[in-house]
Structure 1
Amino acid sequence: MTLNITLAARWLMAQSSDFRLTTDSGATVMSEVAQKQVVLQYHDWSGLVCYTGVARYGSHDTAAWLSQVLTHEMGQRSPAQVVSKLCEEGTRWLRRVPAKYRHHTFTMITFERGTPRVYVISNFERPNGLRSEDAADALFCTSVRPRGPRCIVTGWSPAVVDSQRTELADLLASAPSPHHLREAIALTSRDASARGQGTVGESCVVSHLCPDGSGQASVFGNLPAEFIPTMIVRGENVATRFPDVTAQAGLSGPHRLVGATWTANGETTMLLGVFRELSKQSGSGWPTDTSS
């Protein structure tokens, strides 16, 4: 189990995911660079998908699986089609996982022609905070259309206390800059890691979406291994191009994403990524000044 924080309103949405991967019991850290968030961009909508729960089981790797499920021939796919894919394909492989380890949640946020929606696709929790001790046999989807600010925490939700949720919702109500909102969510996630019983890492990725479909992702904290996330543009995982791009830019050795920016929805879309060699990481990887 890990931690995802989602903030949503009509004017701005943002989502975080940490990188830690632990054993089923949470006793052993297996990775600090597990990919748990994917960017989606289409002609008339953009979205972010993250997950918490089962990252690996047997030969199954959820990050690789998610990339395969979300990749398709170049063209359009609606949010409803994405939700259907996640529910159907996710239920199929989760049924192979022992019941006591089967708790899993995908959270997808979208702006669909400027309208915000949050989809919580889970077998044990809902966006209003209700959770079941037992995982259902199938994933189910609960969607909300936020008007005022909503703070939805999935995964190890007790790690984010009520006062922090209120502070984040109040911040979103004040119409902050996306930069300020991303940093506030990242700091909340880092603080929550101390209450996550070893399952929540300090480093995280936080991305925001604007009503026009544009957005930006930022990685907070230094990473111990290479990290190149999946980014789907009209069905293509454009991250597969990044190794060639970084090689042309003169990067050598393992590197990781620093941040990515994507343009508004429309006929022409563009996604730009910034990378850094692991050997050239400096400091803590966290901003020293979080004012906006």
Structure 2
Amino acid sequence: MSFKQSSPVKTEVGAMTLNITVAARWLMAQSSDFRLTTQAGVAVSESAQKQVVIQYRNWSGLLCYTGVAKWKSHDTATWLGTALTHKLGERSPNDVIGQILDEGSSWLGSVPLTHRRHTFTMITYERAKPNVYVISNFERPNGKSLTTPADSLFCTRVRPRGPRCIVTGYSPAVSQQQSNALKDLLATGPEPEMLRDAVALASRESSSRARGTVGEQCVVAHLCPDGSGEAHVYGNLSAEFLPAMIKSGLNLLPDVQTALGQAGVVGPQRLVGVTWTASEKDVSVMLPAFRSLPNQTGSGWPGE
């Protein structure tokens, strides 16, 4: 999705992301690419954050988006990081969804109807049970998309038992064969890394069918029933990528930047991956890893 430039200093761009979510009782994974484009289809960023890791004492989740990246003074990535940040404490998945529905509908209402198509997808394990929340003003995971977007966001929840594959964003780019292959793989009970790699390769292959709106590079994260998980960046990035990461309401990004500075790290950095331990009442850990852009020695793609 892309938008016109209304002034020399403000660019309205879209994030017609390809979000692939595969989910079952025993494992889930979610992908998001990094590209932003203008109305003319020109890529203006290959390092945009469209997926956020969320961790609380009793649950963990992944939240991604597709649709409106920027509109006038609004920046969706910045807004999402701010909306998810609060004083140290607990929120439930319903709390997070309620805030996105209310505040998201508010700013989305200022976007012209012709461009007003937006979807968030959040996955969680709550008491070890999988949930996929599709929060959109036009997409439904169980039915056809609305021809005319609704005035506000609405939420559809899917509680998968057997393997499901839910694609949001430029969904025609993902073939039925690809979707079936991912479900078949998930049905075998694969190692999380194997599932992440398969989703990443499917996203890269599909990008060539997305009319330039989806980049080859992507981030894929998996989530386990105990709340643990890992995110991995596939492909080298051309610009700094230091994403927001939310732990018990705190955005870890400022601490990461401080730690990099104290370690004497200079120059642009990009996330390689982040792991987090099981959600527990007492102790849990989220550990990111970074690499300087000039020292990107590996692409992260399997076999490369």
Taking structure 1 as the reference length, the TM-score comes to 0.96
Match of 1:192 in 2: 206
What is the 5 A alignment of 1:113-152? 113-152=127-166
CA contact (8 A) 1:106 1:121 kept: yes
User: 2: CA distance between counterparts of 1:26 and 1:60?
Assistant: 20
In the TM superposition, residue 251 of structure 1 has moved relative to its aligned partner by 2.6
Name the stretch that deviates more: 138-147 or 276-285: 276-285
Deviations 1:181-212 (A, max 9, x none): 00000000000110000100000000010000
1:5 to 20, 30, 55: 20
Matched letter for residue 136 of structure 1: A
SS in 2 for 1:118: strand
Matched letter for residue 282 of structure 1: T
Match of 2:6 in 1: none
Name the stretch that deviates more: 50-59 or 246-255: 246-255
2:225 to 211, 218, 226: 211
1:104 to 103, 110, 118: 118
1:36 to 26, 50, 53: 50
2:265 to 203, 228, 251: 251
Match of 1:21 in 2: 36
Match of 2:172 in 1: 158
SS in 1 for 2:104: helix
Matched letter for residue 292 of structure 2: E
Deviations 1:212-257 (A, max 9, x none): 0000000000000110111111100012211122234443210100
Pair 1:88 & 2:102 matched: yes
In the TM superposition, residue 285 of structure 1 has moved relative to its aligned partner by 4.1
Match of 1:275 in 2: 290
User: 1: CA distance between counterparts of 2:296 and 2:40?
Assistant: 28
Match of 1:236 in 2: 250
SS in 2 for 1:53: strand
Taking structure 2 as the reference length, the TM-score comes to 0.92
Matched letter for residue 98 of structure 2: S
Name the stretch that deviates more: 47-56 or 276-285: 276-285
Match of 1:58 in 2: 72
User: 1: CA distance between counterparts of 2:21 and 2:242?
Assistant: 22
CA contact (8 A) 2:197 2:301 kept: no
Match of 1:177 in 2: 191
Change (3 A) 1:270 1:251: same
Matched letter for residue 139 of structure 1: L
User: 2: CA distance between counterparts of 1:250 and 1:222?
Assistant: 23
Deviations 1:124-152 (A, max 9, x none): 01112521222110100000111000000
Change (3 A) 1:237 1:102: same
User: 1: CA distance between counterparts of 2:203 and 2:301?
Assistant: 12
Matched letter for residue 293 of structure 2: L
Unaligned runs of 5+ in 1: none
Change (3 A) 1:41 1:137: same
Matched letter for residue 20 of structure 1: R
Q: How many residues align?
A: 288
In the TM superposition, residue 27 of structure 1 has moved relative to its aligned partner by 1.4
SS in 1 for 2:297: coil
In the TM superposition, residue 167 of structure 1 has moved relative to its aligned partner by 0.2
Change (3 A) 1:129 1:186: farther
In the TM superposition, residue 26 of structure 1 has moved relative to its aligned partner by 5.3
Change (3 A) 1:199 1:42: same
Name the stretch that deviates more: 203-212 or 245-254: 245-254
User: 1: CA distance between counterparts of 2:31 and 2:228?
Assistant: 17
Unaligned runs of 5+ in 2: 1-15
Provide runs of 4+ in structure 1 moved above 6 Å.
Answer: none
CA contact (8 A) 1:26 1:199 kept: no
SS in 2 for 1:207: strand
In the TM superposition, residue 283 of structure 1 has moved relative to its aligned partner by 4.9
